[in-house]
Amino acid sequence: MTEIFTGSFTQQEPIPEEGIAAALEVLRHGRLHRYNTVPDEISHTALLEEEFAALTGARFCLAVASGGYAMSTALRAVGVVPGDRVLTNAFTLAPVPGAIASVGAEPVFVGVTEDLTIDLNDLAQKVGQASVLLLSHMRGHICDMARLMDICDAAGVTVVEDCAHTMGAGWDGVVSGRHGVTGCYSCQTYKHVNSGEGGFLITDEEEVAARAVILSGSYMLYERHRAAPSPEVFERVKYVTPNISGRMDNLRASILRPQLRTLQDQVIRWNERYRVVEEGLRDTPGLRLTHRPEAEGFVGSCLQFLLLDWSVERVLDVLKRCAARGVELKWFGAPEPVAFTSRYDSWRYAPSAPMPATDRILAGLIDMRIPLTFSLEDCAQIARIIRAEVSAVYQLDTPEL
Ligand SMILES: *Cc1c(COP(=O)(O)O)cnc(C)c1O
């Protein structure tokens, strides 16, 4: 009998009971705005920032309205101005070039390797074209950070990290988001903590932190922040930094705080699931898994594989066959962006030169989510289905030996 998977690729786990209780309390007292506190009260938002700073080891943390907002704020805070060029990954999600465009800057796209990390040779060639790199650890793949930092440091390029898929991850024991000047995270439903929308920005640089706080819309209430620099630092920047409101609120902060406490356990659960899918797909003819280096402490909340140099028809056939058996896969090679997939050349507001080596990877790149609502048996079944369908299509088109 043909197996069919009946689970949902978009179903999250519930918010922890502790978070629900805290959220109800916030709803009952009604002080949702982060600066709306009674005497001696510390808002959930301020506590959340303090807790995230402790979790990542950063000196300063700001909670904001989205991951995209964290990135545009980071770019402004490190001094990007309209007309600047900003290096970034050709393989990333739309909010990344969008953050660059939102500050009036222009992306310079850097290619992707078969292991889905930024192509450091391409970066080394292009690094002279900008003074900031918005590095996206897209789908959780972390490049050789030591080499990346060498290239950027030698060229005087400031690194801002997009850690939307690497909250809880690290490189060579260093928390992801702590190599660059700032790290930006997302708390959107499909990331590693879930408040619907939300984000964090971390940094050790006091003026970057002070500018970010004022940019986010602190009015002149910055002294209520606990993971922020001292008031003298704000004195230096407060008259020259615009307010571009994008604050976190106490309702979302209240449901995030307990999730930060269980993040490390969730990472273990994601990786157990990832390894089951990976094992199930290993050595499937025609399918290339991404190599995950020893130094990469990743979070397996999604998995990618390459059908490298397959024709469009065969890739579409695999997607159709898997979908018919309940396995929802996304393809980054489609000429028209579908769901969250997109290609650098579909961001037409940002001019780009053709990148044939990157096009070859994107044309074969398949992505699947691994929500924690999947059991290990679900993961094994999904892998069996993908393996069977990829093998079937591969054999169809492969001439007899
Ligand atoms: C989700 C995501 C973001 C930020 O998304 P928001 O929806 O703005 O929170 C940034 N980069 C990548 C790679 C993402 O996947």
Q: With DSSP H G I counted as helix, E B as strand and the rest as coil, what are the percentages for the chain, rounded to 5?
A: 40, 15, 45
C-alpha gyration radius of the chain:
22
327-to-4, 128, 384 alpha-carbon distances in Å: 8, 43, 11
93 lines ligand 1 (CB under 6 A): yes
Mutate to test the pocket of ligand 1, among 191, 197, 340 (most ligand atoms within 8 A of CB): 191
Q: Nearest residue CA, atom 4 of ligand 1? A: 67
- Taking the centre of ligand 1 as the mean of its atom positions, its distance from the CA of residue 357, in whole angstroms, is 25
Q: Is 246 in the pocket of ligand 1 (CB under 6 A)?
A: no
What is the per-residue pLDDT for 400? Answer: 53
Residue nearest (by alpha carbon) to ligand 1 atom 14: 164
pTM: 0.97
- Protein residue whose Cα sits closest to atom 6 of ligand 1: 67
User: Helix or strand or coil: residue 387?
Assistant: helix
Q: Residues 156-187: pLDDT tens digits?
A: 999 999 999 999 999 999 999 999 999 999 99
Residues acting as catalytic residues: 191
Residue nearest to atom 9 of ligand 1 (CA): 67
How far apart, in whole angstroms, are the C-alpha atoms of residue 70 and residue 52?
14
How far, in Å, from the CA of 138 to the mean position of ligand 1? 9
β pairing state of 302-306 and 296-297 = unpaired
pLDDT at position 399 is 59
Count of C-beta atoms within a 10 Å radius of residue 190: 15
- Which atom from ligand 1 is nearest to the alpha carbon of 70? 8
CB of 95 shorter than 6 A to ligand 1: yes
CA distances from 189 to 64, 82, 192, 193 (A): 15, 31, 8, 7
Atom of ligand 1 nearest to the CA of 165: 15
Would you give per-residue pLDDT tens digits along the chain (401 residues)? 699 999 999 999 999 999 999 999 999 999 999 999 999 999 999 999 999 999 999 999 999 999 999 999 999 999 999 999 999 999 999 999 999 999 999 999 999 999 999 999 999 999 999 999 999 999 999 999 999 999 999 999 999 999 999 999 999 999 999 999 999 999 999 999 999 999 999 999 999 999 999 999 998 899 999 999 999 999 999 999 999 999 999 999 999 999 999 999 999 999 999 999 999 999 999 999 999 999 999 999 999 999 999 999 999 999 999 999 999 999 998 877 787 777 899 899 999 999 999 999 999 999 999 999 999 999 999 999 999 999 999 998 665 54
* Ligand 1 neighbourhood includes 68 CB (under 6 angstroms): yes
Domains and their CATH numbers in the chain: 17-257 (3.40.640.10), 263-396 (3.90.1150.10)
